[in-house]
Amino acid sequence: MGASMAQLHDLTALQLAAAYERGDTTPAEVVDHLLDRIASGDRVGAFTTVSADRARAAAAAAGHTLRTSDRTGLPRLFGVPTAVKDLEATAGVRTTLGSALFRDWIPEHNDEIVDVMADAGLISLGKTTVPEFGAACYSEPAVSAPARSPFDVTRSAAGSSGGAAAAVGALLVPIAQGSDSAGSVRSPASACGVVGLKPSRGLVTAGPNGDDGMGLSVKGPLARTVRDTAAFLDALTTRTGAGTVHPRRAESYELACDAPVPRLRVALAQGSVSGAPVDAEVAAAAELTARTLAGLGHTVFARDQKPDPELTDGFQVMFTALVGSRTMALDEAALRPIVRHLRSRSQQLTSGELAAAIGAVQARARAWTLDYADADIVVTPTVTAPPTLVGQLRDDADPVAELAAMTAFTGNTVIGNATGFPVVSLPLGWSSEGLPLGVSLTAGWGREDLLFGLSAALEEALPWAHRYADLASTI
């Protein structure tokens, strides 16, 4: 075979698809190699459950199809390995939701996103680590090891898609599925040095069980390259149904990566709606991105992002209600302190208070869009600080303080969930210690095509692919 086993984990999803096309390797070889890599030491805590037998069976079936079928009719990423976030029910595979209460749960049915990925011919290697019920911006569940940044395993992979981002950054899978209610794709992407996209509200189907009822949560892709991210989004948007409210704007997001980008108006938003100070190196990464975009011919201007307690307080009420709705019938004593706290707060909320919070968030989200109506793209730091130490944000003794610390760390991420706009986090900055510092780009609703074109240009101008080569021998 043309691609040696030592190199298979370095290949991107699209490179693997091309290697299958050439006959250089097979899904079985790739899956075996990645499973061996996971088994030899998942030092980043990416996986809570590895479904090796199922993955090998799927790879064998995919290989047979590739040998005997007309490949032109197969999905673009057919046979490419991936992973499913452990908040998504997966038939026949242990799905813990990050909770000791579901340590042994094996669902009988798939959540719709799992079916969508299977329809695309993707092969899941297992379930990636999450915080309990996705209710934290770190991934340190009771059911598995903490998810860690591949670039420094003393640092958290953030959350709640921490395991997914860690798996991609550590070259355990080329792409992984995440979900984002308050930054849960973008914060881990920043901590793990990968690309993470929160799509527009309504673009990716949530399925009958996946909609949170308030429009905050969306499913999204994580990958090491912009084009892999785009190709994965193409796969995730092939099905309409529950939760989808508009058709895909682009015929192909992958092709959008190579489409000409018009001259854009770009706002550099300095500061955070949470009111937390932005670390100097994190701010510098956003400023470098802005200067690079100016060098590419775009019109760039800076604007102060003022704290917005009405937005963050209202959002916190909505998130509290969301967690409460998922945990109300469960044994309170078995819940982690932060989840127990959020459930308790949700029980004290009246319907009027929740309605008022939703109204306030909608109003503040509209105000934000008007504040940046003169910009096609808004650039911000993804989070306010470099990757935190494992355990740093968790405070079992004082969950009120923990919630405040998480709100400060995530900074601006809630804007994308409140507005429904698409936001991509790119690994465009690096600290003096070699830690990844994500920078986010926000576009108007439905303009993922614009984000991909601009992101591809930034990937070329400020490349990061070489950063993974140094990890291959250590992770």
Q: How far apart are CA 437 and CA 431, in angstroms?
A: 7
What is the reported pLDDT for 473? 61
Classify each residue of 436-474 as buried b or exposed e, where b means 16 or more C-beta atoms within 10 Å of its C-beta: bbbbbbbbbbbbbbbbbbbbbbbbeebebeebbeebeee
Model-wide pTM > 0.85: yes
Q: How many CB atoms lie within 10 A of CB 10?
A: 16
Per DSSP, 272 falls in state -
Spatial separation of the C-alpha atoms in residues 234 and 250, rounded to whole Å: 9
| Residue whose C-alpha is closest to residue 439's, from 377, 391, 388 | 377
- H or E stretch including 381? strand 377-381
CA gap 46, 220 in Å, rounded: 17
Query: What's the pLDDT at 1?
Result: 41
Homologous superfamily of 5-469 in CATH? Amidase signature (AS) domain (3.90.1300.10)
- For residue 41, the model assigns a pLDDT of 79
Q: Which residues of 140-254 form beta strands (DSSP E)?
A: 148-149, 152-156, 175-180, 195-198, 218-223
Give me the sign of the Cα torsion angle 162, 280, 464, 453. Answer: positive
Do 193 and 150 touch, CB atoms closer than 8 A? yes
Interhelix angle 351-371/309-327, rounded to 10 degrees, is 140
Res 5: pLDDT: 43
How far apart are alpha carbons 424 and 195 in whole angstroms? 7
Query: According to the model, what pLDDT value does residue 246 have?
Result: 62
pLDDT value at position 69?
86
- pLDDT beneath 70: ranges in the chain: 1-6, 209-210, 241-249, 472-475
Render pLDDT for 453-467 as a digit per residue (tens, 0 to 9). 999 999 999 999 999
DSSP state of 44: T
At 126-139, the pLDDT tens digits run 999 999 999 999 99
Asked if residues 289 and 377 have their Cβ atoms less than 8 Å apart, the reply is: no
Distant-in-sequence, close-in-space partners of 158: CB < 8 Å, separation ≥ 6: 137, 138, 139, 165, 187, 188, 190, 191, 192, 383, 387, 388
316: which 2 tokens?
Answer: 């916190």
